[in-house]
Amino acid sequence: IDELKLQENTVQENYSHVKYSQFYQGIEVYGSEIILHEQDDLVKLSNGILFPTPEIDITPVVNELEVINQVKEDFIRENTFHKIDQEQLEYIAGEQIDAELLVYHLDQNPKQERLCWKVEISPNIAERWLVFVDAHTSQIYSKLPMGCKFAANHACENEHNHDFLPPGPETA
């Protein structure tokens, strides 16, 4: 219970929905949340996922600036990174690139916990990506698109070569 932090409490009709996220020593455990559905002060239903208490060193070896530069250079090598000017920043959610330290479980495996940097990057005005980088080794574990590109086929693949977004409609 010490690892849970209240994120949201909403009431709909006569149900209360209480959402908690898991934290370890003040660091978010990515992908872990539980929602309690209460009626008359009784939990009627719960859903979500909680991981066992992590057993990892939470001191990063790779600092935030190093990981931001690493991810930026990766997109520059792919020739997809373009500096977004101040006016264009209004069209993306947040900064062009931002990093946050968290606990990440490879393939949601409770035994595969890692201290990672979650880097959100908009390499250009049309794309936004999530990149998970090990905070001890700088290994990139996942590189996931967060939205559609301005293209006819919106199919995307992750690093394991699994389709996880359906293809978009054909356009003329």
| Residue pLDDT, tens place only, 21-79 | 999 999 999 999 999 999 988 999 999 999 999 999 999 999 999 999 999 999 999 98
pLDDT in tens, 141-162: 999 998 754 433 334 444 333 3
Cβ atoms of 31 and 49 within 8 Å: the answer is yes
170: exposed, middle or buried (C-beta count within 10 Å: 0-12, 13-18, 19+)? exposed
Strands 42-49 and 127-134: unpaired
11: exposed, middle or buried (C-beta count within 10 Å: 0-12, 13-18, 19+)? exposed
